Amino acid sequence: MSTTSSNRFTPAFNHTTLVILAAALVLSAAMGIRQTFGLFIGPFSFDRGLPVTLIAFAIALHNLVWGFAQPFAGAAADRYGSAPVVAFGATTFAAGLGLAAATPSGPLLIVGMGLLVGMGLLVGIGVSCTTFGVVLPAVGRVASPEKRSMAMGLVSAGGSVGQVLMVPLVQGIRLHAGIATSLFVLAFVMLMVAPLGIVLDRRAPVGVPQHEAPAAPLRDTLAQAARHRGYRLLTLGFFTCGFQLAFIATHLPGYLSLCHMPIGLGATALALIGLFNMVGSWGCGWLGGRFRQHYVLGWLYLIRSATIGAFFVLPKSAVTVVLFAAVMGLTWLGTVPLTSGLVAKVFGTRHLGSLFGVCFLSHQIGSFLGAWLGGVVFDLTGSYSLLWQATVASGLIAALLHFPIDDTALPTPALRSEPASA
């Protein structure tokens, strides 16, 4: 009997593992590449005569485009599968990087528009189709409810491999071969992961039980979510995550240069964030499977804000930078498996891509403001102090928003006789 039981569950295990691996590779490429953008601010400014504000705006724009495109990318993946969405997104992502690389030095308008369309618009659309809102729902649908948070945490942790590898790779290529070559290499990497969406669409083996009842139409589910107080609080709190991470990822290398830190320490810090995020994302997924996810989120935001505040006020040294990068890495993308897992717990997985996409829009509005305002404030004041203080304050507010969330699972709207309660 034990042999039969083992044979029964081995195919499901293999299928789930394969989906997790493919999702981690797609996410690793997309997130690893966008994590390198902060390394291009100085070179673009010096080599092509662009103001820091414009470069920061282009990077911020891709975050905003990503946010607005994410609900549509998630809905498309829910309806048509991940394969065409990932393939389209990876190709568009690569085209944006190629356009930014191929735009020659010249008039400010031409160079600026090439950067905005390439690294802003096209990259933003590409990222929306190759990251959380598309790959995590695919994982959530093949994982059992009790293992879902852990599976999403593993994917997020695997996605950090790209950040660990891409940052030093791009730094080395850029120093030896220039901006254009490094961007073309990144474009090639994105094209390599385009076929992996096929793996995300693999059907579960016959006999694997469905984890939940058929869902209601998307319109009814979105209406139910809009009435749910917990979903609104979760969406508002996710703004802070985007604001904090985009500001740090985009402007930390420049801030360390202002503090007279060694050249290359910024790239090292970003790589360390990615390295420790592998542990942090897995750990947050593990915690989300054992404790109420909104409580874990609240404590995560408190720890992150305390870390940012301490780093801002303490004297800067290689030790404090490394410690800051390590703690930030442990809390970096842990919000994603917790947030998506919480949405799946309350509303189910059938429309998870769409519901997470709407929630993620708030995250990306925060990302846009974090990246862009960092450049604006620096150009106006010559300092990043106001933004460091804002990241601390926003984290405290986010923690207060998450603790009172009601995470009770809701029946589908079609089965309800009254509106969803808060």
Residues 6+ apart with CB under 8 A from 84: 76, 197
Rounded CA gap, 197 and 195, in Å?
Answer: 5
Structure tokens at 93: 């992502």
Count up the domains in the chain and report the number: 1
C-alpha count within 13 angstroms, C-beta hemisphere, residue 137: 33
pLDDT for res 134? 87
Is residue 204 situated within a structural domain? no
- Let me know if residue 342 belongs to a domain: yes
Output the pLDDT for position 417: 40
- Distance, CA of 36 to CA of 30 (rounded, Å): 11
Structure tokens that stand for 208 in this block: 């694997």
pLDDT of residue 42: 72
Q: Does 79 map to a domain?
A: yes
For residue 133, which of 402, 351, 281 has the smallest C-alpha distance? 351
In a domain, 205, yes or no: no
User: What residues make up the domain containing 320?
Assistant: 11-198+218-407
pLDDT in tens, 287-316: 887 888 899 999 999 999 999 999 999 998
Q: Is the residue at 415 inside a domain?
A: no
Question: Can you give the pLDDT of all 422 residues of the chain as single tens digits?
Answer: 444 444 444 444 467 788 888 888 998 899 888 878 877 777 777 766 677 777 778 877 887 888 889 888 888 888 888 889 999 999 999 999 988 888 766 555 555 677 788 888 999 999 999 988 788 888 877 777 777 777 877 787 777 787 778 877 887 887 788 778 888 999 999 999 999 888 887 654 433 444 445 556 777 778 888 888 989 999 999 999 989 988 998 888 888 888 888 877 887 888 788 788 888 888 887 888 788 889 999 999 999 999 999 999 999 888 999 999 999 988 887 888 888 888 888 887 777 777 888 888 888 888 888 888 888 888 888 888 999 999 999 999 999 999 999 888 777 654 444 444 43
Q: What is the CATH number of the domain that holds 376?
A: 1.20.1250.20
Residue 254 covered by a domain: yes
pLDDT of amino acid 337: 81
What is the reported pTM? 0.70
Question: Does some domain include residue 237?
Answer: yes
Return d(Cα 219, Cα 43) in angstroms, integer: 46
Look at residue 26 and tell me if it is in a domain. Answer: yes
